[in-house]
Amino acid sequence: MAVTSTRASSKPLIEKRSIDYIPEAERHGRLLSQFTLWMGANLQITAIVTGALAVVLGGDVFWSLIGLLIGQVLGGGVMALHAAQGPKLGLPQMISSRVQFGVYGAAIPIVLVCLMYLGFTATGTVLSGQALGQLFSVSDSAGILMFASVIVLVTVLGYRVIHFIGRVASIIGVIAFVYLFARLISQTDIGALLQIRHFSWSSFLLAVSLAASWQIAFGPYVADYSRYLPSKTSSVKTFFAAGAGSVIGAQVAMILGVFAAASANGQFAGHEVAYIVGLGGTGATAALLYFSIAFGKVTISTLNSYGSFMCIATIISGFRGHLNVTRLQRLVFVLVIVGAATLIALLGQHSFLGAFKSFILFLLAFFTPWSAINLVDYYCITRERYDVPALADPNGRYGRWNALGISVYVFGVLVQLPFIATKFYTGPLVGAMGGVDISWIIGLVVPAALYYVLAKKWHSAVPDQLILPLEQDAVDAQPSRAGRIQAV
């Protein structure tokens, strides 16, 4: 514990690493920070709105709550399996995709992930702008610009500050949600709402899908926030720390959304922020709730922006061979990313955003197969035995393009299309499913099974054990030794 504290306190406030491997000497942190980060990321207004959709779109309270919980556990399990990779590999999540797709080929899913998180940042910025506008009595546009400035600052500072914000957001979120639940219970007959039980498979599956998709969406960057943990950190404990924080936070937020929508008599949709704050009261109490809503969005919006930065850096490094990102370059990257998201938010805050959000949800179908392929390869095929130095070498073990991974990925995307249900696109089999989008189930199960079968036969040579970059302390201890890797 003392060593960990010493390490953490000696690190600069501004993160100096980007997508490169984190040496053991720079590892620090505790599993509790994973729990608080992901709880803070989920105790926020967008999760409330997502849970409310289960009722707004026709479900009853009782079965919506059950469906949401099942979806949280299923999707949270997928998310947490990615989180467990961080301490072992010491790498951001998406760069490990080069094992399955090739050094160049990994750019295919990464580009789509960048677009999706750009959209999530934009939609979150709109809601936060509304909250800040109410808090400071300014326009929503001014609130959006204020929020964007905060996101730029936190994203540039990086890993340590992001985890600190996550801890603070967890505390503020818990206090705000306890208060809102108490107010809701005092104003609503919760027991009566729970007694209304009209089970419908379509509504039930909708609730499951809403929660599962919410959790799975964290997959492409969850390891970015666990990669600084010491390499000996238990994978099982990392799984439960990140997964429990995310599942508990999201479920609490979505439960509030379900009860709020059920008791709103049609006043919730379109006035989400104002209605939630209205549950708590007016005056100073309302101001504090607006602040908690905006602060809650800081965590998740920063995660989205930071994840986008890591993805772009990964794409560039794949074609350049190596990329050392200076602090100035990091600032430029972040300004471009957040600037683009802010522009979208400003242009779409009144009408365009609804259609744009549907497009972003449509993009979910493009990385669900990536998640399936990455997890099957890591846990079932290579079994954590990666050659980390080779991830930067297009002429190395993993090559430029991996035909097997790319082919299964493309098939995994195509096989989902008939089952997708969004305003942007609706597949031909959605009607037969009662209008419910089950594409995420297809996108996980089918590519996972197919990749497992094919990779067992045609996977490239797997190292005998995990190979990590040779760290400087090892070089100093053995100055005459040639080579650039160490096996563990």
Domain positions in the chain are: 2-362
Q: Longest Cα pair distance anywhere in the chain, in angstroms?
A: 76
pLDDT at residue 6, rounded to an integer:
44
pLDDT-flagged residues of the chain (< 70)? 1-13, 18, 266-271, 321-323, 351-361, 471-488
- Predicted TM-score of the model (pTM): 0.86
pLDDT at residue 49, rounded to an integer:
84
Residue tagged 């620090």 (tokens) = 28
> For residue 25, which amino acid is it?
A
Tokens of 330: 């990091």
pLDDT at residue 450, rounded to an integer:
97
- Give the DSSP H or E segment for 179: helix 159-187
pLDDT at residue 263, rounded to an integer:
84
- Cα separation values, 325 from 35, 56, 160, 211, 309, Å: 29, 45, 18, 36, 11
Point out which residues pair with 387 in neighbouring strands.
467
**Could you give the CA distance from residue 485 to residue 467 in angstroms, rounded to a whole number?**
6
pLDDT at residue 481, rounded to an integer:
41
- Domain 2-362, what fold? Hydantoin permease (1.10.4160)
Residue tagged 């998740």 (tokens) = 300
**DSSP code, position 417:** G
